[in-house]
Amino acid sequence: MGNTGNKEKVTTLWSDLKALIKVGIINSNLMTAFVGFWLALYYTGSSFLENWQTFLFAMAGTALIIAGGCIINNYYDRDIDPVMDRTKKRPTVTGSIPLQTILILGIATSVTGVTLLLMTTVQAAIIGAFGWFAYVVLYTMWSKRRYTINTAIGSLSGAVPPLIGWAAVEPKFHMVAFILFLIMFIWQTPHFLALAMKKCKEYKRAGIPMLPVIHGFSITKRQMVVYVACLLPLPFYLYSLGLTFLIIATLLNIGWLILGMTGFYVKSDKKWATWMFVYSLNYLTILCVTVVVVTFPTIF
């Protein structure tokens, strides 16, 4: 009985920690940070094996700084999370972990993340700290509960990981790193607006002024299509990655645009929003994998 009880406690604690740090967000951001790191190696003619220590510091630092921001986001949102189904089981709501412990954990994790990034380059640490500031202060504390543009403001933090990965290898500005930032910045709005449409009633209950809550689904769908259309020219700035990448990236963009435009004719907005959300996740994964595959022989 004792062992079973201890196992349940460990399992519950692990589940609580995963909810606090938002594992899904960390995984997707680490994927784009890796792509930034990888392309920096490619464009500087560096070898992955010669930079494996830098890689470990960059990935660990990025993961921890994102985890720290997510923990503080949960701490700050503890008053609205109880009314939303997807957030009401967080430890900040259930009380399974003391609030003071959560706050200390958030600060300690954030500081550790910045410190690890400093082991790569100062620029990577500064970019990481900016991403944290954009998420915690500009998004969570300032815009989330005030403005429908909160999604775009939050996108700043989500667009930063490729820059962190790049700067860990090559601190100097490069157009490729900026294009990666733009792709991630633009990608996030249709991704999160699709989620906002799916969870519209919950956001309304919580008093969060998401675009579909304030202006309805029709305007939201138009905004999503505009953002997806803005992605169309970006792969052409990465033409140096080769024709295979260009074709796959362009097909992904065209496919997403066509799916977006079907939103004006579908009967079920929620079902369409689910399609858009799932497509956005697959879009990001396929794009990142394609970048690595087409450049793999050069780096290894």
Inter-residue contact 46 to 172 (CB < 8 Å): no
**Amino acid at residue number 133:** F
Residue-wise pLDDT for 24-52, tens only, equals: 899 999 999 999 999 999 999 999 999 99
The CATH number, out of the four listed (1.10.600, 2.60.40, 3.30.70, 1.20.144), of the domain defined by the range 2-299? 1.10.600
| pTM, full prediction | 0.92
Residue-wise pLDDT for 260-273, tens only, equals: 999 999 999 999 99
| Cα gap 284→282, rounded to integer Å | 5
| Cα gap 259→122, rounded to integer Å | 42
pLDDT band (50, 70, 90) for residue 12: confident
How many other CB atoms are there within 10 angstroms of residue 175's CB atom? 11
How many other CB atoms are there within 10 angstroms of residue 204's CB atom? 15
Residue 1 has a pLDDT of 47
| Cα gap 81→266, rounded to integer Å | 31
Residue-wise pLDDT for 112-171, tens only, equals: 999 999 999 999 999 999 999 999 999 999 999 999 999 999 999 999 999 999 999 999
